[in-house]
């Protein structure tokens, strides 16, 4: 990581649920919790626990110097709601095959 920039990833035990409108998009008891300097805590959900059939791949891609290139998915009324790192940098390889949502419920 860069000078003063820290990313930690740990196996979470909280129940994480993602709801948009009346649809449950994802639900898991095995999230990865990613903490990154200057960013809110993010919950990365295993792809197997995400209803991928409801999401449409987006043309959007962004680049993070610490995590790599992100790909996005959308709903008809919520563009780029979800992202993942298909080929993350080695320091954050644990987030491969996990997706992250902007809004989650944690219990």
CATH of the domain at 69: 2.170.150.40
Work out the number of other CB atoms within 10 angstroms of the CB of residue 64: 15
Instruction: Specify the pLDDT at position 3.
Output: 72
Instruction: Report residue 63 CA to chain centroid gap.
Output: 14
* pLDDT tens digit sequence for 48-82: 999 999 999 999 999 999 999 999 999 999 999 99
Using alpha carbons, select from 13, 10, 3, 11 the residue that is nearest to residue 107.
Answer: 13
Tell me how far apart the alpha carbons of residues 51 and 95 are, in angstroms, rounded to a whole number.
18
Is there a domain that residue 1 lies in? no
Is there a domain that residue 98 lies in? yes
Output the pTM of the full model: 0.94
The parent domain of residue 76 ranges over 7-106
Q: How many domains does the chain have?
A: 1
């Amino acid at each position: 990581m860069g000078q003063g920039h820290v990313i930690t990833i740990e196996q979470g035990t909280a129940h994480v649920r993602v709801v948009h409108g009346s649809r449950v998009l994802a639900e898991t008891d095995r999230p990865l919790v990613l903490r990154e300097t200057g960013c809110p805590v993010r919950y990365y959900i295993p792809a197997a626990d995400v209803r991928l059939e409801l999401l449409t791949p987006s043309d959007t891609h962004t680049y993070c110097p610490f995590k790599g290139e992100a790909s996005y998915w959308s709903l008809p009324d919520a563009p780029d709601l979800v992202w993942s790192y298909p080929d993350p940098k080695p320091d954050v390889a644990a987030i491969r095959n996990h997706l992250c949502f902007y809004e989650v419920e944690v219990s």
